[in-house]
Structure 1
Amino acid sequence: MALSWALAVLSLLPLLAAQSPECGNLTAKHITNATLDQLSGKWFYIGSALRNQEFNQSARTIQAAFFYFDINSTEDTILLREYLTIGSQCVYNTSFLSVHRENGSLSKHEFGKEQFGYLLLTKDPKTFMLAFSPKDEQNMGLSFYTDKPQATQEQMNGFHEAITCMGLQKSEIVYTDEKQDMCGPLEKQHKEEKEKQKENEGSSDDRALG
């Protein structure tokens, strides 16, 4: 859905090394605990260019999307909580991602196999990208995420630069529109339920101590 997974079989390290100097702002490297700390929290799906037809069609149904990464660095897993606006309705999904530190990728089991997305970081810690099938011209793709519902012009420039580095075209990008988001009320409900649960747990602890 919002992350639009596609199979990637080669590391981005040799791919980026072979590209022109303007690609130097992108880094593909091992994932560390610091990397995971940077990814933790709420993110907004801004847009993607996906040549895999199945994933491209899926991306075109998404009007707006945001999600949460809940990191477990001990087990190298991420709980993904997605809030997607599709057909002017809110769709909520949860799933687990596996962290592959050595080759800098995240994966999930989907369509009967493990699908990989390679993590691309820029100098801006408020954004990240996931690259898919970078050596497969028919199925390659790139998705872009920021910590705010709207990307700045500088952030968009970084995304467009990465699109060029991948060998994609800006005309292939499908964007979301945060103004069409319908998931705000559900997110608020989930936050209230979580706070209530914490309060109840606190009360139980107090009674146990008493």
Structure 2
Amino acid sequence: MLATLALFVGLPLALGTEPSPSCAPLIPVTFDNSTVPQILGEWFYIAGASKYPPHVAQMRAVTFGAFSFSPGSHEDELNITEIIRMNETCVVRNSSRVQVFHQNSTMKQVTDDEMPAVARLIQSDKDLMILNHIETDLPNLILSARTPNVSKEHMEEFKAQLHCLGFTEEDVFYTSTEHACPLPGDEDSEDPQLG
């Protein structure tokens, strides 16, 4: 779940509370043989909103998040390495994997210590990952990107999707690069949690 949380972009949200009549439905990506290779590599958590209380609690606690997907032991399985700052502590987790289901175009994150999270990847720019978790009927949307910042246009797209789901500015949680944890390979890694 935390692998797919949010990164900070210093743009104010001007979200209304009523969905616009021009809202288009979220269109999930149809998984094919090229989908999985396109999502491999490093991602940064940008922003997220949820009405599901456990997700809200996690989003509130995370001030920075980065994660990477690498090939798993099976064709439709990915390993995840997460680097997050929860409250004031940086934590590296390598204990989860993602199973990709082509038949219904979903992704299921399985960890050793949490309940599985199931999400749909929403169609967007190739350098964005917008996930809609479907293990609950409550609305939620999470934005990650290949870089720790996104363009104004990409943020506007995400804000429009949030607006259509009925979220307000107060519902959205961001992370910030000023709270960044050292990434693996950073020689200045001083945080003892990042062993």
Q: Tell me if both proteins adopt one fold, taking TM over 0.5 as the criterion.
A: yes
1:141-183, CA deviations, whole angstroms, 9 ceiling, x for partnerless residues? Answer: 1100111101111110111112123333343110000111122
CA distance in 1, matches of 2:128, 2:24: 16
TM-score for the superposition, normalised by structure 2: 0.76
Q: Which residue of 2 aligns with 1:162?
A: 161
Larger Rg: 1
Deviation of 1:112 after TM superposition, in Å, equals: 7.0
Q: Secondary structure at the match of 1:63?
A: strand
Q: Which residue number corresponds to residue 50 of structure 1?
A: 50
Aligned length: 170
Counterpart in the other structure of 1:142: 141
Q: Partner of 1:109 in structure 2?
A: 110
Q: Matches of 2:36 and 2:172 in 1, distance apart?
A: 27
SS in 2 for 1:30: coil
Q: Alignment RMSD, CA only?
A: 2.5
**Once superposed, which parts of structure 1, at least 4 consecutive aligned residues long, lie more than 4 Å away?**
19-22, 110-113
Higher relative contact order (CA 8 A, sep 6+): 2
Instruction: Say if 1:42 and 1:147, in contact at 8 Å, map to a contact too.
Output: yes
Partner SS state of residue 157, structure 2 = helix
In structure 1, how many angstroms separate the alpha carbons of the residues matched to 2:93 and 2:114? 18
Structure 1 runs not aligned, ≥5 long: 5-18, 190-210
Tell me, yes or no, if the aligned pair for 1:2 and 1:62 is still in contact at 8 Å: no
Q: Does 1:69 align with 2:106?
A: no
1:118 alignment counterpart: 120
Sort the Cα spacing of 1:134 and 1:52 in 2 relative to 1 into closer, same or farther, 3 A. Answer: same
Answer yes or no: is 1:188 the counterpart of 2:189.
Answer: no
Task: Report SS of the residue matched to 1:60.
Answer: helix
Are 1:91 and 2:94 counterparts? Answer: no
Amino acid at match of 1:175: Y
SS at match of 1:150: coil
Q: TM-score, normalised by structure 1?
A: 0.71
Any idea what SS the aligned residue of 2:186 has? helix
Q: Which moved more, 1:125-134 or 1:152-161?
A: 125-134
Sequence identity, in percent?
21
Q: Which has the higher helix share?
A: 1
Paired residue secondary structure (1:188): coil
Name the structure 2 match of 1:32.
Answer: 32
